[in-house]
Amino acid sequence: MSSAEILQLVITGLTVGSIYALVGLGFNLIFNATDVINFAQGEFVVLGGILTAVAVGTTGLPLWLAIAVAIALVAALGALIDFAAISRVRRGSVMTLAMITLGLAVIVKTSLLLWVGPDPLYFDPFTPGPPLRIFGAVLQLQAIWVIGIGVLVMVALKFFFSHSRVGREMLACAIDREAAQLMGINVGATVRLSFILSGALGALAGVLITPLTNATYDQGFTLALKGFAACALGGFGRASSAILGGFALGLIEAASVAVLPSGLKDSVALSVLILALMIRPSGLLGGREERRHTQAM
């Protein structure tokens, strides 16, 4: 394999890896606040891409406005999910909550199928122009957007959690919900905010990647699985491990396409998830233990 091919592989890997990292960070936001894995996280991504494509394609909104509207709508959906369902569950375990998000994922997916149909949707890259060529490798301009905004968001989240009051309250809820409540933190509002942020983050990932891969109604669950794999590779509940895991997964996937039939791409990524969890059930970097138990309901 030539060095140009390897460079190409790294570029592709980092691009998809950023998306997995963003999905993983979305998982982390809700998981930290509630101990719930939001199975609809992948649907947030698809919804972000499809809403933007529809807004650009049918209403002729300028791209930046379409993106803003799409992200706002998905963030609002996140809030609605918490308001209408999650916050109302009084009995049952976190697994009950996870099943509710699974039901929501099916609702979103079916709605998308009925609304826009099974064909992939698409909108133009953020900036037009031919791809760059570096040392023989091709770099799409959109890939620069994906990686650039991805990294920007990751850094912003880091600062949000370490320096802002709200971010630290969220962390407090994650560490000990009861104690946080006793210290006067409004846990309900914090959870609501985590759903809003998670929706926005998911939609952003969808908006970034759609010009490169198109958006189809049924991609959500696979994306969610990969985002989860990103988190699990590093260890759940820590932002840095979702980011590292995301990039690692993206690179592995890109490498697998170079040597194996592309139909096996997802299987390779998922085998990595399974193997990693077999070796270290709490993640390779060691995440925090699941607090409340997540067995049956």
What tokens does 10 get? Answer: 């790294």
In the bound state with another protein, the residue whose beta carbon lies nearer, of 81 and 143, is 81
- The verdict on 88 binding another protein (CB under 8 A) reads yes
Q: In 3D, which of 215, 162, 224, 169 has the Cα closest to residue 192?
A: 169
Contact predicate 208/145, CB 8 Å: yes
Query: What is the closest distance, in whole angstroms, from the C-beta atom of residue 28 to another protein in the complex?
Result: 12
- The verdict on 113 binding another protein (CB under 8 A) reads yes
- The verdict on 80 binding another protein (CB under 8 A) reads no
The rounded distance, in Å, linking the Cα atoms of 13 and 2 is: 17
In the bound state with another protein, the residue whose beta carbon lies nearer, of 168 and 288, is 288
In the bound state with another protein, the residue whose beta carbon lies nearer, of 106 and 212, is 106
DSSP code string of 241-253: HHHHHHHHHHHHH
At 184 the three-state DSSP class reads: coil
- The verdict on 271 binding another protein (CB under 8 A) reads yes
What tokens does 81 get? Answer: 């999910």
Number of residues that bind another protein (CB under 8 A): 48
Who contacts 5 (Cβ-Cβ below 8 Å, separation ≥6)? Answer: 137, 258
- Residue with token string 């320096």: 163
Interacting stretch for another protein, rule CB under 8 A, among 85-93, 120-128, 183-191, 246-254? 85-93
The rounded distance, in Å, linking the Cα atoms of 144 and 197 is: 23
Find the binder of another protein among 197, 225, 233, 248 (CB under 8 A). Answer: 225
Q: In the range 39-58, which residues lie near another protein by CB under 8 A?
A: none
- The verdict on 259 binding another protein (CB under 8 A) reads no
What tokens does 17 get? Answer: 């890896």
Query: What is the closest distance, in whole angstroms, from the C-beta atom of residue 234 to another protein in the complex?
Result: 13
**Residue 96 CA to its chain's centroid (Å):** 22
Residues of this chain that interact with another protein (CB under 8 A) are: 37, 85, 88-89, 91-96, 98-100, 102-107, 109-111, 113-114, 221-222, 225, 228-229, 232, 261, 263-264, 266-267, 270-271, 273-274, 277-278, 281, 290, 293-297
